Amino acid sequence: MDDDLERMSREELIAEVGKLRGGIRKHRDSSGHELCWHHPALWGLLPEKTDPVPEVPEWPEFMRGCIRYRKSLDEQAAGAPRSDELYAE
């Protein structure tokens, strides 16, 4: 799957690592309401070009997942700043 890496020069590999690190940092630095969004740009950094369509849970199960995710932030990032900023479309 990653055979292309074997054919890359040192400079190409360094550029690839830089691109991947940039994408990971952008995702990592998501905050606030950005945490809830679909992030196809992250997997778009991979060389295989696909446009995966996610399987989307029905609303009740989706909302349970959102609540569980938010609770996990309380546990894993208990000291993180909190915001009461409203979501604006």
pLDDT of residue 5: 96
pLDDT of residue 14: 98
Task: Give me the average pLDDT of each 10-residue run along the chain (89 residues).
Answer: 95 98 94 86 90 90 95 96 91
> Is residue 88 domain-resident?
no
- 31 by DSSP, 3-state: which? coil
Total domains in the chain come to 1
> Is residue 84 domain-resident?
no
> Is residue 33 domain-resident?
yes
Which structural domain, as residue segments, surrounds residue 59? Answer: 3-76
CA 70-57-65 angle, to 5 degrees, is: 15
pLDDT of residue 81: 95
> Is residue 57 domain-resident?
yes
What is the pTM assigned to this prediction? 0.76
pLDDT of residue 39: 85
> Is residue 18 domain-resident?
yes
1-33 CB burial, b ≥16 within 10 A, e <16: eeeeeeeeeeeeeeeeeeeeeebeeeeeeeeee
> Is residue 81 domain-resident?
no
